[in-house]
Amino acid sequence: MYTGLLSLHSLLRWAIIILLIVNISRSLLHKNVYSPQDRSWNLRLVIITHITLLVGLYQYFFGPKGIALVKAFGMKSVMKDPTLRFWVIEHLTGMIIAIVLITISSSFSKATFESDAKKHKKLFWLYTIALFVIIASVPWPFRFAEIPWFRGF
Ligand code: HEM
């Protein structure tokens, strides 16, 4: 089961990146009208991101690359080693920040007190910052040799 969840977590990263690019493009193209389609693309992004969060939390607490590393090496050694620190602190922190931004985007997309143009502008920035934070926090294969671009189920 763990391997399946790991593959899912790995695959959903691509879905999130694609959905962020779609949402960013829609904010740029439909500047003045926030349509129900814009709302449903936001919803797709929020749902997929929260599924990734749940799988990630499971991996963090029950897999080999989260709390298990703190138990095995102690927090002091974890903080001194860049790879261990990435898995215990950096991946988690970066992704939680991105997920908070995406969750805030959902409230903005529902807001009725703002003009559509303002809504698109705010959403554009939330999506763009979230995309950069995610790209910076993903364990890419050029940084971690054991991590593939696509993991099979
Ligand atoms: C937008 C959210 C996230 C994205 C895009 C993402 C992406 C990834 C990717 C691409 C991997 C490598 C998978 C592989 O080995 O093929 C990974 C691993 C991992 N992620 Fe995330 N992640 C996200 C959120 C989280 C969160 C919030 C947590 C913790 C609470 C987390 C915990 C982990 C752990 C522990 C691993 C290593 C699993 C293992 O090798 O056993 N992730 N993540």
pLDDT at 31: 85
Q: Ligand 1 centre from 115 Cα, in Å? A: 36
pLDDT at 149: 96
Of the candidates 9, 52, 28, 17, which has an alpha carbon nearest to the alpha carbon of residue 130? 17
| Token pair listed for 78 | 């974890």
Ligand 1, atom 21, lies closest to the CA of: 56
Give the Cα separation of 123 and 89 in Å (integer). Answer: 27
Of the candidates 52, 37, 5, 42, which has an alpha carbon nearest to the alpha carbon of residue 20? 42
Ligand 1, atom 3, lies closest to the CA of: 95
pLDDT in 10s for each residue of the chain, 153 residues: 999 999 999 999 999 999 999 999 999 999 899 999 999 999 999 999 999 999 999 999 999 999 999 999 999 999 999 999 999 999 999 999 999 999 999 999 988 888 999 999 999 999 999 999 999 999 999 999 999 999 987
Of the candidates 126, 116, 115, which has an alpha carbon nearest to the alpha carbon of residue 45? 126
Give the Cα separation of 46 and 39 in Å (integer). Answer: 11
Among left, alpha and beta (phi > 0; psi -120 to 50; other), residue 114 is beta
pLDDT at 114: 87
Q: Kindly report whether the global pTM for this prediction surpasses the value 0.85.
A: yes
Mutation choice for ligand 1 from 91, 129, 143, CB with most ligand atoms inside 8 A: 91
Of the candidates 42, 56, 59, which has an alpha carbon nearest to the alpha carbon of residue 13? 56
CB of 126 closer than 8 Å to CB of 20: no
pLDDT at 111: 85
Among left, alpha and beta (phi > 0; psi -120 to 50; other), residue 138 is beta
Pocket of ligand 1 (CB under 6 A): 6, 9-10, 13, 16, 49, 52-53, 56-57, 59-60, 63-66, 91-92, 95-96, 98-99, 134, 138-139, 147-148, 151
